[in-house]
Chain A
Amino acid sequence: CIAPSCPTACVGGNAACDPRNHNCTRCEPISLELCMNLPYNLTSFPNFLGHLSQRETSVSWESSLFPALVQTGCYQYLMFYACTLLVPKCDPVSLQKVPPCRSLCRSAKEKCESVLGIVGLQWPEDSDCSQFPEDGGNATCLLPEPGVDECSPSHFKCRSGRCVLASKRCDGHLDCDDHSDEDDCGCSERALWECPGSNVCIKASMICDGFPDCPLLVDEDNCSVCRDNELSCNNHQCVHRTLWCDGRKDCRDSSDEWDCVSLSDGSGPVLTVFRTAAEYQICADEWNHQLSHLTCRQLGLGVPSSVSMVTDQPGVPGRRRWLHVHPEWNQRNGSALQARLEKRSHACHSRKRVSLVCTREECGLRPAVGMYSHRKKR
């Protein structure tokens, strides 16, 4: 370790860390899903492709290339060989990497390099076979033991033994040479949940997760049992009705403050707010231009282009509920419109409601392009 004392990474891993040594070697458990079925479960980095961590390996181009190449069936132990490069075996005693044998590397390269050539790709250059020891020599190296799995956990194994990517299982396309990837595709056979009223299969983890997945959104139904005076958040948490649309987040996912303000109403773009989940009109008496600006921006509709006060038609059905502009409406910087309004014991004196039309702010224009058009020189 270059530093006078071993960095924590070494000390923590009870590694053999000699101050004169220029790097700290330690073994770590394999977490790369692609290689979780190897006959060993400890690895160390950097690997033979120059990746410095399993995270870097997991997003590397080789970790997509090899599983795709395995599908061609070019070499029976290609996946095993690829994993010895991606997550090399780490000997728990010597803490050293154990490389693949040269013969394994040669077999994989000879049988599969040409397949890559067809699509104009090169064999990964870091995997030059001469760097690996000859099998049978005094340096230990890895060869596939009998029974090693040809497919990775990211593959589906066809009845014929071929490997196809797991995403092709029951995708409606015949991918296995014996078509076994399209057999037994019922939801339960694949430990999935079937959406009622359709044959869509979803993972159990998708039920009540706040994202509708089934055609009739039934996977998000009956996900919470809230009391009468409570409402269900998008994440199915229960929150008291009085906290709904008050401008403060009470649901962990803040969904009690979503869709609180609306400009649509039977009689034109009249502003309504859904305070405590009931519809309220906004009394126009103390309305002002800044609040019009805030409303349009909060709705993502741009800027106000016209504001008007709409008088209630006589004999309007039922009693309207009114919200009034809070006296300290401008002390609440950064808060939403619904936080700047308040209920009052009395109705709206003028009985006038706010009607607002917003127009999209300027977007998608390219003024600089016009700058060149005056140059007519040839």
Chain B
Amino acid sequence: ILGGRVSRRGAWPWQCSLQSGQSGHVCGCVLIAQRWALTVAHCFEGRESPELWKVVLGLNNLDHPGGQSQTQGVRAIIVHPRYNRAVVDYDISVVQLDSEVEETPFVRPVCLPQLGQTPSPDSYCYITGWGHMGNRMPFKLQEGEVRIISLTQCQSYFDMKTITPRMLCAGYDAGTVDSCMGDSGGPLVCEDGGGRWTLFGLTSWGSVCFSKVLGPGVYSNVTHFTPWIQQQIYIHTYLTD
């Protein structure tokens, strides 16, 4: 996260770290139910097998997991059948954990948006992750406040790519607070009046965040995928062979 700050322990209890073998942290992910998480499809490029992955929850410092962290194996990885690597469209995956997590103050699911529920342009939301900070990779979970940007305005920043309805844009013209490599799959969440946080985006792509190229970050639009997510959970819970 560029232009962010260190988050307090337990501030984002749905944030998880998707880790693989020796690489350690590869991508962010988001807990949406006791046995289910979301991330983006491009994190699995070339490493589609569930055995290669584990999910760590309740984490703040990558280097010192601490007593609140929980580590889960991955039972299934369900990449959206329409994921398109070239234009990074339909960039979403549902991850089934080996077993249910234990809900604690440091491990909690986030809310999925209701059908058609979207954040209003110019409202402020939060992104979190252990990705590049522009000059280094952090150990402690970073958080940054970003502003939701309309798709039309967003398209004007990216004449090399097409912004589709499956995408959501957030950030600032000057790119001052933005997600970056290593944040992929992590959450963009907005708080409602009752102090409840809803997941509207998964960090997906953007301009090269440690260069002078400016512009917002692009997130997978979770609202667009909520019916598909619910359907995958139903199929993999109740329609096993």
Contact = CB atoms under 8 A, between A and B. Distances in A.
Q: Tell whether A and B belong to one assembly.
A: yes
B239 A336 contact: yes
Contact of B198 (A68, A334, A364): A364
B234 interface: yes
B239 A254 contact: yes
A365 B239 contact: no
Contacts of A59: 42, 45-46, 85
Interface in A38-75: 55-56, 58-59, 61, 68, 71
Interface in B214-241: 230-231, 233-235, 237-241
Interface stretch (A88-96, A166-174, A216-224, A271-279): A166-174
Chain B: number of interface residues, binned into ranges = 35 or more
B13 interface: yes
A364 B196 contact: yes
Contact of A258 (B108, B211, B231): B231
A243 B13 CA distance: 42
A119 B240 contact: no
Contacts, number: 111
Q: Looking at chain A's contact residues, is the secondary structure mostly helix, strand, loop, or mixed?
A: loop
B159 A55 contact: no
Contacts of A369: 8, 10-11
B123 interface: no
A52 B12 CA distance: 37
Chain A: number of interface residues, binned into ranges = 35 or more
Given A254-B239, A334-B240, A55 B46 contact: yes
Interface in B88-121: 105-106, 108-112
B150 interface: no
A368 interface: yes
Contact of B238 (A175, A334, A360, A361): A334
A372 to B, nearest CB: 6
B239 A171 contact: no
Q: Which of B110, B159, B198, B240 has the most CB of A within 10 A?
A: B159
Given A56-B46, A167-B86, A336-B239, A364 B111 contact: yes
A249 interface: yes
A211 B81 CA distance: 10
21 contacts: A55-B46, A119-B211, A120-B211, A121-B208, A165-B160, A248-B239, A249-B241, A254-B235, A298-B237, A334-B240, A336-B238, A361-B109, A366-B10, A366-B12, A366-B195, A366-B197, A367-B10, A367-B105, A368-B106, A371-B10, A372-B8
Interface of B: 8-14, 32-33, 42, 45-46, 81-82, 85-87, 105-106, 108-112, 159-162, 189, 195-198, 208, 210-213, 230-231, 233-235, 237-241
